Structure 1
Amino acid sequence: MKFKLAFILLGLTTSIFGQNLIINTASGKVEGTANEDKTIAIFKGIPFAAPPVGNLRWKAPQPVKSWEGIKNCTAFSASPMQAPPAPFFCWSEEFIIPKEPISEDCLYLNVWSGAKSNKEKRPVLVYIYGGGFRSGGAACAIYDGEAMAKKGVVLVSINYRVGVFGFLAHPELSAESGKNSSGNYALMDMIAALKWVQKNIEAFGGDADNVTIAGQSAGAFGVNYLVATPHTKGLIHRAIAESGGSFVQNPLRPNVNMKAAEELGIKYAKTLNCNNLAELRAKSAEEIQKSQGGLSSPIVDGYIMPEGIFEIFAKGKQNDIPTIVGWNEDDRIGSPAAKAEVFKEQMTKRFGGSVADFLKVYPAETDEQAAKSQIALGRDETFGIQDYIWAKMQTQTGKSKAFVYNFNRKLPAYTPETEFGAFHTGEVPYAYNNLHTVKRPWEVVDFKIADTMSSYWVNFAKTGNPNGKGLPDWKTYATTDEQVIIFDKTIESKPLPSKPQMAFWEKYFTGK
């Protein structure tokens, strides 16, 4: 052997074959590989649940069947069933899943670790992808875990079912569950992955008693649900949510209760000419996917989610853990469409007697001003207010600290036509130090932001506090001064810039 690996991960049995490692998990041995400079062990496509196919479609994830021999885990598994991926709006190919493979058989995870032994107990960071709960997968280039592993965490990225595969509710499904509930299969997948981490991560040098869950967009919504559900007690110890949460009625994610979700499921079955669950399960995955129907978001099912998130936090029943939340300056879905007068008419119809208060914080005296206000409106109502209320309620009903950020760095673009500013998901390559995975004309300051932001994330995973030597001070969020850290060409803590807008939405949604 011409080289000696800088690490040896020890499971019950561990061997080195060239650059590959063999780790003994609870279900069997897995073989991974090393990165280019031989400092990080990489395992891709480790099963954490049985394939959710056939009679296991729309069921809680079932245990993995143990295997004999050694399972090769050097390539990503299939992404969950979803529409064929294609770049759109601000999301280039680095932000979306590979074109193939895509399959129902998708419940796999990936591990990156730089530990030299299984005694190190490095902090674990479990990443949950976004995609509106209809798309996404752990194989996106921007989710690569090598850079974060080099900074000292064991990074785990997971798959979960999306679209109708992850959220269909139906009376027959509720009856067979034994819990009188159905629909939250995606959340159950996330919980099953966290249970896998508890059983197995020590073999990879990780600490099962120090697990941070992190996610962006739908992944942040998922983090919010995982923090709220009682089913993650003892499984999670810190949380990071980038542009997402579910505290108040979201225009993209309407609140649906169990009864309403089941009724939607019945209607969905009829669109496929199915009269019962057996007929639904007999349909091919491709037929199900093409139907473009059914729910695609979590519900209050009385089991995984016994109550709504707002109610859970209001009663202080959430997992009381340190939390980072934040959103981007140009977080939005779509572009402004209405001229000033039309926009004001629309908002008058919506807000009635409150429209004057609305127009104070979202002015529309000119078309240009109205366009800017529509961008801010899409950001604040869909993402900002969720994370704002999250930080505020955690501070009020919990004992653990919250830290809030605004990501304002406008990403460099190749042409004016591809200029989307600090767009939704744009912060992810920075937060995980993965600028090298995205084809952009990066400037020196971008690499500085990425190094700083990822260091905050790693410090937080280690201690529950993002601050560390050589980093700008990130002040704890408090309702008295509402300090947030701004990620831009200059990184500094400031009073929340969008406080007037947040105050409007807080009063609108909560009456306070």
Structure 2
Amino acid sequence: MKKTGLLLLSSMLAVSAHAAPQVATANGMAEGTLEASGVASYKGIPYAAPPVGQLRWKAPQPAAKWQGVLKADRFGARCMQLPLYGDMVFRSNGVSEDCLFLNVWTPARSAQEKLPVLVYFYGGGFAAGDGSEPRYDGESMAAKGIVTLTVNYRLNVFGFLAHPALSKEAPHRSSGNYGLMDQAAALQWVKQNIAAFGGDPSRVTIAGESAGSYSVSAQMINPQAKNLIAGAIGESGSLLGLNEPASLESAEQKGAGFARSIGAPALATLRKLPAQKLLESAQASGIWFSAIRDGYVIPRAPVAMYEAGQQARVPLLAGWNSQEGHYRQIFKDNEPSEALFAEHLQNLYGDKAAAARLAYGGEVKQAATHLASDLFIGHGAWKWIDTHARTSGKPVYRYYYTHARPGQEGAAHAVEIEYALGNLATNKVYAWTAEDYALSAQMQDYFANFVKTGNPNGAGLPEWPQAGNGAASGPARLMRLGVPSAAASADDEARQRFLDAGARR
């Protein structure tokens, strides 16, 4: 960039208590809000063209330039979705197909600061979620000296429909994974624009929880994205789980069957259907649209790519929670018992049932909770950590989160998000205690240190050891995040190896 351009960007980012902060992006000027903390926020910035009309089910296209100054003081619309999860709170401006917006929080006072960058992808099963959710708010992380972003990406049938006609018209001859393409386009936007916000495009860490964590594992093998990231954080889950992403061929067949079932076998007809009707039809069909092995965004089976060291070779911090699943998922309405657990294992693993019970040792309720957690999401996180530790040549830090919210039983799925991102105060449902805030401060420091240096450790924090690899160097090491937090040896090696050796399907 020319020197005059850098000076312009620097001057445009300058903020004061008396003026709204402005920044020059590649598409035009954007005016944000100066928060009481001193962090400048820019909400609802379009990073790609609206994926509507003929752009429905196409790779994201460049955003148009705008004239004048974009008022970036409110969240854009969230991507098309139904109200699926009771814990989701939105601050966005309604629901729309026109939803490819991102949000930036920056503590920088000039474009010269070159601060580390965190890009966070929301969870929600690739069917729901939004960058406006208070639990993902970036102000608290920005106050730690990190330029922080949340990114909207297409969901459900809009984000993950594969269809033979879509594959035929695409230059890359595949379809599906549009939501993952959106994320990669956002990372391209970051590369082009984040310096104007005081960020360093060479120091970008991507992060996410649940489907957001799956997304991180996907972008690490996505040829369009993997060279744009310097670090990765995954909270609960990856594409390396027991159920591998479907092939393009099978996803196309599923998509074509869905189109026929709603009376719209032709692509032109599908593209003309009202978005809400299409969304409701997808819900009624019972089909869960998700990431696939399309040969383009995900070139090969994720496990095979990681085993071959074809992922982004960057530091990884990842883990999962102690109660991702629950023994009630195994026993339903029945009283837990060894006999019922044995029956369940027999149904799952046949002549390997006895080996399964040995791997899942201990008291039956806890063993069943471990099994439910692993089958849901824990094993995929473990496989990602284990494989990356063996093949990347980069540091890997593993956690096991154990602290329950006030009044709750166990560390259930997604409960760690507000702790890690410093956003407990945004959730008014729970009566947070000093203990909760202390754990949150600790976790946020770990995450912030990792974003800045690729290592979570820092002054005043319990030492977090590198994970290593259990098969090669004894029990894997991890940080048990809770009250108190402490380094420990992993105690799940036997059950993860059992699943890995005999239960992948």
Match of residue 420, structure 2, among 431, 435, 440: 431
Identity of aligned residues (%): 38
Partner residue, 1:77: 76
TM-score, normalization: structure 1? 0.91
Match of residue 490, structure 1, among 480, 484, 491: 484
CA-CA distance at 1:96 after TM superposition: 3.6
1:275-313: per-residue Cα shift (whole Å, max 9, x none)? 210000000001111111455211111111110110001
1:191-249: per-residue Cα shift (whole Å, max 9, x none)? 00000000000010000000000000000000000112222132111000000111132
2 CA distance for matches of 1:502 and 1:187?
28
Structure-2 change in CA distance of 1:100 and 1:370 (3 Å): farther
Partner residue, 2:340: 342
Partner residue, 1:318: 311
CA-CA distance at 1:61 after TM superposition: 0.4
Partner residue, 2:169: 176
CA-CA distance at 1:508 after TM superposition: 2.1
Matches within 5 A, 1:62-73: 62-73=61-72
CA-CA distance at 1:332 after TM superposition: 2.4
Q: Is the counterpart of residue 508 in structure 1 residue 497 in structure 2?
A: no
SS at match of 1:409: coil
| Higher alpha-carbon deviation: 294-303 or 109-118 | 294-303
SS at match of 1:326: strand
The aligned amino acid for 1:469 is: A
Partner residue, 1:156: 149
SS at match of 2:227: coil
Partner residue, 1:4: none
Q: Is the counterpart of residue 410 in structure 1 residue 404 in structure 2?
A: yes
Structure-2 change in CA distance of 1:335 and 1:161 (3 Å): farther
1:352-390: per-residue Cα shift (whole Å, max 9, x none)? 1110111224369xxxx5443332212112222112121
TM-score, normalization: structure 2? 0.92
1:441-463: per-residue Cα shift (whole Å, max 9, x none)? 22212111111111111111111
| Higher alpha-carbon deviation: 437-446 or 487-496 | 437-446
Contact 1:435 1:450 in 2 (8 A): yes
CA-CA distance at 1:98 after TM superposition: 4.7
Structure-2 change in CA distance of 1:380 and 1:25 (3 Å): same
Partner residue, 1:360: 358
SS at match of 1:446: helix
User: Gaps spanning 5+ residues in structure 1: where?
Assistant: 1-7, 414-418
Partner residue, 1:396: 390
1 CA distance for matches of 2:93 and 2:225?
32
2 CA distance for matches of 1:86 and 1:387?
22
SS at match of 1:403: strand
1 CA distance for matches of 2:423 and 2:98?
28
SS at match of 1:372: helix
1 CA distance for matches of 2:497 and 2:91?
41
The aligned amino acid for 2:107 is: G
Structure-2 change in CA distance of 1:33 and 1:334 (3 Å): farther
Contact 1:82 1:102 in 2 (8 A): yes
1:402-425: per-residue Cα shift (whole Å, max 9, x none)? 100000011112xxxxx2421111
1 CA distance for matches of 2:328 and 2:90?
24
Contact 1:213 1:238 in 2 (8 A): yes
Partner residue, 2:410: 421
The aligned amino acid for 1:474 is: W
Partner residue, 2:21: 21
Partner residue, 2:4: none
Match of residue 351, structure 1, among 349, 352, 375: 349
Structure-2 change in CA distance of 1:13 and 1:443 (3 Å): closer
Contact 1:261 1:295 in 2 (8 A): no
The aligned amino acid for 2:410 is: G
Partner residue, 1:237: 230
Partner residue, 1:376: 370
Partner residue, 1:255: 245
Matches within 5 A, 1:32-111: 32-37=32-37, 39-84=38-83, 87=86, 91=87, 95-98=88-91, 101-111=94-104
Structure-2 change in CA distance of 1:57 and 1:160 (3 Å): same
Alignment RMSD: 2.0
2 CA distance for matches of 1:211 and 1:105?
26
Structure-2 change in CA distance of 1:86 and 1:485 (3 Å): closer
1:237-278: per-residue Cα shift (whole Å, max 9, x none)? 10000001111323xxx5310111111111111122012100
Partner residue, 1:452: 442
The aligned amino acid for 2:360 is: Y
Partner residue, 1:416: none
Contact 2:117 2:200 in 1 (8 A): yes
User: Gaps spanning 5+ residues in structure 2: where?
Assistant: 1-6
2 CA distance for matches of 1:9 and 1:205?
13
SS at match of 2:464: coil
2 CA distance for matches of 1:322 and 1:125?
14
2 CA distance for matches of 1:245 and 1:255?
11
Structure-2 change in CA distance of 1:249 and 1:380 (3 Å): closer
1 CA distance for matches of 2:54 and 2:172?
18
2 CA distance for matches of 1:77 and 1:334?
40
The aligned amino acid for 1:82 is: Q
The aligned amino acid for 1:431 is: A
Contact 1:48 1:63 in 2 (8 A): yes
Q: Is the counterpart of residue 280 in structure 1 residue 278 in structure 2?
A: no
Contact 2:232 2:314 in 1 (8 A): yes
Structure-2 change in CA distance of 1:61 and 1:334 (3 Å): farther
Alignment coverage as a number of residue pairs: 485
